[in-house]
Amino acid sequence: MRSLRSTLRSAAPLGRRWCSEAPSPREMQLLQQVSRLENRVHELQNALPPHVKPAKVENWEDLGFGIVPTNGHTRYTWSGVTNAWDAGRFISDPFVPLHIHAAVLHYGMTLFEGCKAFRCKDGRIRVCNLNENSARMNTGADRLVLPRVPVSMFNEAVDWAVRANAEYVPPYGSGGSLYIRPFLMGTGPILGLQPCPETTFMVSVTPVGNYFGKGGVQGIHASIMKDFDRAAPKGTGAVKAGGNYAADLLPLKQAKAAGFGTTLYLDCVEQKYVEEFSVSNFVGIDSKGAYVTPKTPSILPSITNKMMMQIAESKGIKVEARPLAWDEVSTFREVGACGTATVCVPIASITDGDAKHEFGKFEVLKELRDELQAIQYGECEDPYGWMREVVV
């Protein structure tokens, strides 16, 4: 049955022209046959055991930031022929079939998001601030010429994936959460570089603990990357494009080999201003007690950072989102790396060549992080309206 589907896929030589003609009676007959067979394939697929047997999680406290096989993911397809999204499916097979010329394989047409679902104190499951993720993904979609994902579909896809994997949301008190990975990618076949005729939107989930393991408590040592740039000023640094991340693999490896936990990038024009850590935003508390985070057109706007800023403001802490010269950082009391996966972890030190700047404290940032987590786990009021229950 796979061969039928793959034959159909591989036989499609990128031709809208093939579809512009009306089908002949014979073709109509064949189409109906294909449709019947496809339905049969779906039936059989649902009857089959999952490709990877879901493992039951036993020790929720030991979860790291890896993959635990779950019940499946949601998948929606957009077609350039109809200019519309389909109704979506829940798929248990963790593998995705791709045409050999799928745009994502060759031209990096892909965007991802990261968000989380929490098992709250009241036993209910809630997702955090999805509208921000949806908006950021659509900004990226416009930049990479992929179709936008309507916010209602984004929410539906996430809720569907969470609901179908409810038993994988770590229990309240374990410190874990269900990491949600929505991603949008060009799956249509193209040979020359051009907008992609078919796009797939998927939502995968996996239960996670702390991104940096024990370092999340003790603090991470970062190293400044002067030999590499993260993004060009007018590049794609501000959107969550896949291509931004592969470029960090080598710097990250070099930093780890030298004993560091993460990399810190400076702006590529002057190498003077702070950009961000490899996969998280830079946040700091300066000598006057203000919350400072760098702002440039090439930094990915972290949603966790945005929430922390709101919490800081509500506490009467001055918040400054502005260009931040590296020279200024040495005067900071606290520094943290902030993102969905990490929430906000202390940065113990940043090394710039021979100079090592240590940040002994993590008090104000910890207070902000704890308050954010209290909101996420439903331990306190959510005055910002970030949390939304996923009814199971």
Partner 1 sequence: MLAARALRGMRASRRGMSTAPDWSKLGFDFYPTRSMLRYDHDGSGWNGGTLQQDFELKVHALSNVLHYGQAIFEGLKCFHCADGSVRVFNSGANAKRLRSGCERLQMPVVPAPMFDEALDRVIKDNLDFIPPYGTGGAMYLRPFLFGHGGKLGLGPAPSYTFCIVASPVGAYYKGGLQAIDGLVIEQYDRAAPRGVGNIKCAGNYAPDVQPSSAAKANGFPICLYLDAKENAYVEEFSTSNFIGITQDGTLVTPSSPSILPSCTKGVILQIAADLGIKVEVRPVPWAEVATFREVAACGTAVVLTPIQSLTRGDKVVRFDSFDTIKKLYDAVTQLQVGLVEDKHNYTRVVAKKPLH
Residues 287-346 that bind partner 1 (CB under 8 A): 341
Between residue 244 and residue 283, which ones bind partner 1 under the rule CB under 8 A? Answer: 244-250, 252-253, 268-269, 278-279
Between 175 and 320, whose beta carbon lies closer to partner 1? 175
- Determine which helix (DSSP H) or strand (DSSP E) holds 263, and give its type and residue range: strand 262-266
User: Does residue 47 interact with partner 1 by CB under 8 A?
Assistant: no
Q: Is residue 42 involved in binding partner 1 (CB under 8 A)? A: no
Work out whether 46 is an interface residue with partner 1 (CB under 8 A): no
Task: Indicate which single residue of 1, 23, 55, 121 sits in contact with partner 1 (rule: CB under 8 A).
Answer: 23
Distance of closest approach, residue 133 Cβ to partner 1, in angstroms: 15
How far CA 141 is from CA of 112, 183, 305, in Å, comes to: 10, 11, 22
**Residue (10 or 46) nearer to partner 1, CB:** 10
> Between 153 and 252, whose beta carbon lies closer to partner 1?
252
264 and 273 Cβ atoms separated by less than 8 Å: no
Choose, by CB under 8 A, the member of 55, 193, 258, 380 that binds partner 1.
Answer: 193
Residues 103/191, Cβ–Cβ less than 8 Å:
no
Should residue 6 be labelled a site residue for partner 1 when binding is judged by CB under 8 A? yes
Cβ 16 to partner 1 shortest distance, Å: 9
Angle between helices 130-144 and 151-164 (to 10 degrees): 120
Cβ distance to partner 1 smaller for residue 58 or 227: 227
Least distance in Å: CB of 196 to partner 1? 8
Cα 280 to Cα 145, 168, 347, 365: the distances in Å are 25, 25, 12, 15
- Report if residue 40 touches partner 1, rule: CB under 8 A: no
Beta bridge pairs of residue 32: none
Binding mask 120-159 for partner 1 (x = CB under 8 A): ----------------------xxxx--------------
- Shortest Cβ 287–partner 1 spacing (Å): 31
Shortest distance, CB of residue 322 to partner 1, whole angstroms? Answer: 22
Residues in contact with partner 1, counted by CB under 8 A, come to a total of 94
Segment 94 to 123, residues that bind partner 1, using CB under 8 A: 94-101, 103-110, 112
- Residue 41 binds to partner 1 (criterion: CB under 8 A): no
Q: Give the nearer residue to partner 1 in terms of CB position, either 237 or 378.
A: 237
CA-to-CA distance for 324 and 53, rounded, in angstroms?
48
Longest dimension (CA), the chain: 78
Q: Which stretch binds partner 1 (CB under 8 A): 170-178, 199-207, 284-292, 365-373?
A: 199-207
The one-letter amino acid code at 155 reads N
b/e map of 284-305 (b: 16 or more CB within 10 Å)? bbbeeeebbbbebebbbbbbbb
Q: How far apart are CA 79 and CA 75, in angstroms?
A: 13
| Residue nearer to partner 1 on the CB measure, 129 or 187 | 187
Of the candidate residues 129, 133, 165, 206, the single one contacting partner 1 (CB under 8 A): 206
Cα–Cα dist 226/178, whole Å:
35
Q: Which stretch binds partner 1 (CB under 8 A): 29-37, 117-125, 127-135, 216-224?
A: 29-37
**C-alpha span between 325 and 332 (Å, rounded):** 12
Q: Is 388 helix (H, G, I), strand (E, B) or coil?
A: strand
- Residue owning tokens 């309507």: 150
Question: Using CB under 8 A, which residues numbered 48 to 87 contact partner 1?
Answer: 65-67, 73, 77, 79, 81-82, 86
Listed residue (181, 167, 175) closest to 209, CA to CA: 175
Count CA within 13 A, CB hemisphere, residue 370: 7
